[in-house]
Amino acid sequence: MIFKRRPHTFIRLRNGGFTLIEVLIALTIIAISLGALMSASGNQAYQTGYLKQKTLAHWVAMNEMTQLQLEEEWPALGESKGSSEMAGAEWFWLRTVKETQDDNARGVELEVFADKNHKQNLTRLIGYVNR
């Protein structure tokens, strides 16, 4: 059997590997996916820390409200500021006591902040104190 070569015929051989363009496209897709994954992970870590702060701030507000209810002294009307320690951190609160229609009850609004300047409000609790 004799094979003849045709003068203008090109034979394309394929090894079964990837071309450079295919590899670059795959790397681009992987890079974009990893970037999105890192962004989502960072956002989740931030949200977890924020929820922890909000939970602790709410506990501080509940403790302050409970302390007011346990005290025998009637809370004075108006605003007062203070701080409490919980979970190794200092929390700053602003308490506003208002009159109600009932002479034996006062409305109390507690706001808890993470900073001393009262700029980052984490929670607000509204409750009542009875005589």
**Domain assignment of residue 11, yes or no:** no
Number of domains forming the structure of the chain? 1
Task: Read off φ and ψ for residue 14, nearest 5 degrees.
Answer: -125, 130
**Domain assignment of residue 122, yes or no:** yes
Structure-model confidence comparison of residues 103 and 12, the more confident one: 103
Q: Which helix (H) or strand (E) holds 122?
A: strand 121-130
What's the whole-number mean pLDDT along residues 27-39?
91
**Domain assignment of residue 5, yes or no:** no
Burial class (CB within 10 angstroms; exposed 0-12, middle 13-18, buried 19+) of 107: middle
What's the whole-number mean pLDDT along residues 15-34?
88
**Domain assignment of residue 123, yes or no:** yes
| pLDDT tens sequence across 46-85 | 899 899 999 999 999 999 999 998 988 888 899 999 999 9
**Domain assignment of residue 90, yes or no:** yes
Threshold 0.85, pTM exceeds: no
Structure-model confidence comparison of residues 93 and 17, the more confident one: 93
**Domain assignment of residue 59, yes or no:** yes
Domain ranges, residue 48 = 20-130
**Domain assignment of residue 3, yes or no:** no
Q: What is the pLDDT of residue 58?
A: 96
3-state secondary structure of 105: strand
Q: What is the pLDDT of residue 119?
A: 86
